[in-house]
C-alpha cells in the first residue's frame, strides 16, 4: 500500500466530518456556509475512507492515520478558539497558536486511539471492525466528556441537530447512541465500498440488514415521540418568557464597572420592551448585570436604582457575577439571581463547571486568565434547579451557565432533581463571527430532547433561542443583534428514559469494549509466547 495513502484518507475523513458540523467563515458570511440539515448527512459517510484503510494497517500505523484525521477535524471545528484567545482574551498570537494546537492534538488523540483499538481487537480476535469500531468511538467520546475536566465539544452527534426525527433516540441513550448509529451507517457503507473495490470481499448483507432494522426503529421512534411529546406539552402549564439579547461588546463587558451606566440603561430599556409582550419570566444573559454583587444579597429593591426605579409585573433570572470573602481573600461566582416581581432575590444558582483558563487556572499553571476580575472564580457547590412561584405557576428552572450545557450530565441532574424548564445563560461574544455560536446552539437541541424539556437560551450577542422538547428551534435571533425574543414554553414534569437511566448505553459500551480489549491482549500475548 502507498505509504501516504492511509494518512491522505485519514485527512479526508477529518475534513468531511468537519464539514458536517456548523461552519462559518466570516470572510464570506456570518451565517453557516451550508444548510446544516443536508450537511449533517456528510457524517453518515465521512468515516468511510478511514475505516477502509485502517483494517489494512498495523495498530500503530492505524493510530497515526486516525490522528491525522482528528487533527484536521478538530482544527476546522475549533479554529474559533484563536479568535477567543487573541481578539477577546488579549493573548498574544505566539501563545494562542500553540495553545490551540495543543488542544487540537489532545482531542485528535481520541481518533488515533479509536483506530488503534479497532485494529488491535480486529487483529487479536478477528472481531470485524464494522462491529467493534462504533462501540469504541462511543467509549472514547464518553471519556472525552470527563477526562481532565472534560471537553466534549465537537461530538459528531451534533452534526444532526436539524435532523430532528433522527435524533429522538437521544432520549434513550443520549448523544452516544446517536453517534453509534452514525458509525454503524459508515461501517455498512464501507463494507459495500470494499465489496466493490476489493477482490474476494463478501457483500455486507448481515450489516445491511442490521442497519435497515436499526434505521426503521430510529425513524418510527422519532415519529412516535413527536406525537407523544406534543400531547405531554399540551397538557402542561404554559409560561410566557422574554429573553434580553443586550449585544454588549466584549471589550465593554470587560470594563463593565467603567461602563455600568450605559450597560444598565441598555438592559432597562430592553426590560421595557420585553414588558410589551406581557411575559411572566424575563431572562438576562450570563453576567449581564454590570456590577459585581455580594453573594449574600437579598434584594434589588434597596438601595434603589439597582434595577431602575420601578417594579415589574414579572419574575426575572439575571446573570450576575458575585463575590464573597474567606478571611482576607476575595472569591467570585459566575451565577444567576432569581428575582420576584417585588425585586426580592428568591433563589440563586452558581455555575458548577467552570471554564479552564477562562474562569480559573488549573493546577496553578502560570497563565493569565481570559476573564478579568479581582479574585478567583470558584464553582458552585450544588447542581439544583432554582424555584419561583409566579401567577400560581411553580417554575423550577435548571440553569446552565455558559458551556455547562455541553455536558449532558449537568442538564440531566437538574431535571432529575425536578427542573420543569431548562434555561441557558451565555455570553458567546468571545467567539466573534465564527462557527462557535452555531455549534454551541446545536448542543442545546440535544439537551432539550434528552430531558424532554423546553429550553430557553439567552445569549449576550446571540444566538438566543427557544427550543421545544422535540428539538425544534421554535424561534431564534441573529448574532450581534440587540433585541428581545419572546415566546411560550410548557412546564413539563414527566421524566424521560434518559433522565432515569443516564448514559447507560455508553457505560455498557465501555464494559463491552474493555472486555474485548482484555481478551484481545490475552490472545496476542499467548501468540507471542508460542
- Answer whether 444's CB lies under 8 Å from 471's CB: no
d(C-alpha 34, C-alpha 25), whole Å = 11
- 280, 348, 351, 404: the catalytic one is 351
Residue-wise DSSP of 211-258: HHHHHHHHHHHHHHHHHHHHHHHHTSPEEEEEEEE----HHHHTTTTT
d(C-alpha 333, C-alpha 349), whole Å = 9
Least Cα distance to 254 among 457, 458, 90, 81 occurs for 90
d(C-alpha 62, C-alpha 69), whole Å = 11
Confirm whether 61 is a catalytic residue.
no
Cα 238 to its chain centre, rounded Å, is 27
150: how many CB neighbours lie within 10 A of its CB? 15
Side-chain-side CA neighbours of 396 within 13 Å: the count stands at 15
| Reduced 3-state DSSP string for 97-122 | HHHHHHHHHHHHHHHHHHHHHHHHHH
62: how many CB neighbours lie within 10 A of its CB? 28
- 402, 404, 413, 450: the catalytic one is 402
Query: Residue 422 in 3-state DSSP?
Result: strand
Confirm whether 402 is a catalytic residue.
yes
d(C-alpha 447, C-alpha 450), whole Å = 5
- Answer whether 332's CB lies under 8 Å from 293's CB: no
Please confirm whether the linkage preceding 303 is cis (ω < 30° from 0).
yes
Residue-wise DSSP of 274-319: HHTT--SEEE--TT-SSSEEETT--BSSSSTBEEEES--SSEEEEE
Confirm whether 286 is a catalytic residue.
yes
- 286, 359, 413, 450: the catalytic one is 286
492 DSSP assignment: -
Residues carrying an active site annotation: 286, 351, 402
Amino acid at each position: 500500500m502507498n505509504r501516504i495513502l492511509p494518512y491522505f484518507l485519514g485527512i479526508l475523513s477529518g475534513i468531511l466530518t468537519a464539514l458536517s458540523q456548523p461552519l462559518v467563515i466570516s470572510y464570506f458570511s456570518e451565517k453557516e456556509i451550508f444548510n446544516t440539515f443536508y450537511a449533517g448527512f456528510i457524517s453518515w459517510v465521512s468515516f468511510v475512507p478511514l475505516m477502509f484503510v485502517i483494517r489494512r494497517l498495523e495498530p500503530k500505523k492505524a493510530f497515526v492515520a486516525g490522528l491525522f484525521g482528528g487533527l484536521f477535524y478538530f482544527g476546522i471545528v475549533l479554529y474559533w478558539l484563536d479568535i477567543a484567545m487573541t481578539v477577546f482574551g488579549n493573548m498574544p498570537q505566539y501563545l494562542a497558536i500553540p495553545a490551540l494546537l495543543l488542544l487540537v492534538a489532545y482531542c485528535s488523540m481520541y481518533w488515533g486511539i479509536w483506530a488503534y483499538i479497532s485494529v488491535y481487537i480486529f487483529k487479536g480476535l478477528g472481531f470485524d471492525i464494522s462491529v467493534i469500531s462504533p462501540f469504541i468511538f462511543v467509549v472514547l467520546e464518553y471519556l472525552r466528556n470527563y477526562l481532565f475536566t472534560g471537553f466534549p465539544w465537537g461530538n459528531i452527534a451534533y452534526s444532526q441537530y436539524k435532523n430532528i426525527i433522527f435524533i429522538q433516540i437521544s432520549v434513550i441513550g443520549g448523544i452516544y447512541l446517536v453517534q453509534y448509529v452514525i458509525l454503524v451507517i459508515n461501517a455498512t457503507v464501507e463494507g459495500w465500498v470494499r465489496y466493490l473495490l476489493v477482490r474476494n470481499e463478501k457483500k455486507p448483507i448481515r450489516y445491511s440488514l442490521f442497519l435497515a432494522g436499526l434505521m426503521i426503529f430510529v425513524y418510527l421512534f422519532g415519529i412516535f415521540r413527536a406525537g407523544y411529546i406534543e400531547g405531554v406539552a399540551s397538557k402542561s402549564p404554559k409560561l410566557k418568557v422574554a429573553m434580553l439579547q443586550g449585544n454588549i461588546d466584549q471589550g465593554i463587558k470587560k470594563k463593565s464597572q467603567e461602563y455600568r451606566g450605559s450597560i444598565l440603561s441598555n438592559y432597562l430599556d430592553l426590560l421595557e420592551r420585553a414588558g410589551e409582550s406581557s411575559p411572566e419570566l424575563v431572562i438576562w444573559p450570563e453576567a449581564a448585570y454590570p456590577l459585581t454583587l455580594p453573594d449574600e444579597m437579598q434584594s434589588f429593591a434597596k438601595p434603589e436604582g439597582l434595577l431602575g426605579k420601578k417594579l415589574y409585573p414579572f419574575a426575572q433570572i439575571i446573570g450576575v457575577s458575585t463575590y464573597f470573602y474567606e478571611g482576607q481573600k476575595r472569591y467570585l461566582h459566575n451565577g444567576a439571581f432569581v428575582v420576584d416581581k417585588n425585586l426580592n432575590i428568591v433563589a440563586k444558582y452558581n455555575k458548577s463547571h467552570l471554564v479552564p483558563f477562562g474562569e480559573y487556572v488549573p493546577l496553578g499553571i502560570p497563565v493569565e486568565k481570559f476573564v478579568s476580575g479581582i479574585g478567583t472564580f470558584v464553582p458552585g457547590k450544588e447542581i439544583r434547579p432554582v424555584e419561583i412561584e409566579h401567577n400560581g405557576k411553580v417554575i423550577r428552572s435548571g440553569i446552565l451557565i455558559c458551556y455547562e450545557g455541553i455536558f449532558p450530565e449537568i442538564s440531566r441532574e437538574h431535571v432529575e432533581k425536578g427542573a420543569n424548564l431548562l434555561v441557558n445563560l451565555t455570553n458567546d461574544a468571545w467567539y466573534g463571527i465564527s462557527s462557535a455560536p452555531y455549534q454551541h446552539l446545536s448542543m442545546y437541541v440535544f439537551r432539550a430532547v434528552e430531558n424532554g424539556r423546553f429550553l430557553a437560551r439567552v445569549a449576550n450577542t446571540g444566538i438566543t433561542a427557544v427550543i421545544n422538547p422535540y428539538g425544534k428551534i421554535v424561534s431564534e435571533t441573529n448574532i450581534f443583534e440587540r433585541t428581545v425574543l419572546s415566546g411560550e414554553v410548557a412546564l413539563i414534569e414527566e421524566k424521560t428514559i434518559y433522565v432515569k437511566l443516564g448514559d447507560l448505553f455508553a457505560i455498557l459500551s465501555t464494559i463491552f469494549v474493555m472486555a474485548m480489549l482484555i481478551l484481545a491482549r490475552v490472545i496476542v500475548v499467548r501468540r507471542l509466547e508460542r
